Chains A and B, each alone.
Chain A
């Protein structure tokens, strides 16, 4: 009899928990729906490249070195944009391999200050991958001033553009760099 009562009580408790978890799941789904309607879902949005598709990187105001790069991602960041500032703060002096930054300036004097914030030195390899561009130049080359914006470069040509809604998506875009060049080959070539 006691066992039966205990089992009944356990069943009642389980029913209560079932209903509570069901309500919780529904609340999270409602939250997601609200975020989707408000455009607050952490998902990159494709951007129509129009006439820029497959254009050489250097023709779009980017560094000429990008024309010979097999795979890279160029990220446009504007100091006035909150997400851009969060991305810059997350760098801490380290720029993932394959990522190139374009810091969009409203005034040229901002350049050194921005660079100092990234912790990067333009004289070394990492800093080499940081470019400056004014908002007018970005408008001229891309037809828009949209940040944070990521443009994928393959074999020197612009292939795909997406928005970057968060720091997480920035790091998710880091290309996987695969090289066939062995250390011994590099030594011979450098000679």
Chain B
């Protein structure tokens, strides 16, 4: 696999990393996505459905890439998700409401221009998915395992940092070890 193949695969890999993180955060806590969908003017029943369908599509995209299913499917999923996110951003701008983005779980970031600006990137990832070099199942599983372990390590660092901060506060107020 030459360097150009790696470059071509880059956007799809980056996109799948983002979708994987995003999907896992959404299945861990569906509330921020439900709140965002409701704030966009959708009925509550649709919000519950969206909170299941969106992370399923995100994680499904990653699963399609790892399983080596037809590239067109992964490409279509990248495209559908990118358009969905852009539509949410556009609707947020049109309603004029300040709606918290639930892209990677609960956050202070707002829906709007970032989702619209990201649309070309998602479409680029969709194109990149059509040009992925052929690899073995074991190779793809290895890449998935490495990405997940790295993502878990990053998650652990932020959790431990928050824990240390909480302990310092507790010791400052209540003393003890």
Contacts and interface: CB of A to CB of B under 8 A. Distances in A.
Given A28-B162, A28-B163, A22 B155 contact: yes
B148 interface: yes
A167 interface: yes
B173 A18 contact: no
Contact of B141 (A4, A21, A23, A26): A4
Interface string A118-158: 00000000000000000000000000000000000000000
A22 B25 contact: yes
A177 interface: no
Interface stretch (B47-55, B80-88, B113-121, B164-172): B164-172
A172 to B, nearest CB: 10
Interface in B129-146: 137-138, 141-142, 144-145
Interface residues of A, number: 31
A4 B169 CA distance: 45
Contacts, number: 87
Interface of B is mostly: helix
Contacts of A53: none
A6 to B, nearest CB: 9
B172 A165 contact: yes
B138 A7 contact: yes
Interface stretch (A9-17, A68-76, A96-104): A9-17
Q: Give the top 3 A-B pairs by smallest Cβ distance, nearest first.
A: A14-B148, A166-B172, A28-B162
Interface of B: 24-25, 27-29, 105-106, 137-138, 141-142, 144-145, 148-149, 151-152, 155-156, 158-159, 162-163, 165-166, 168-169, 171-173, 175
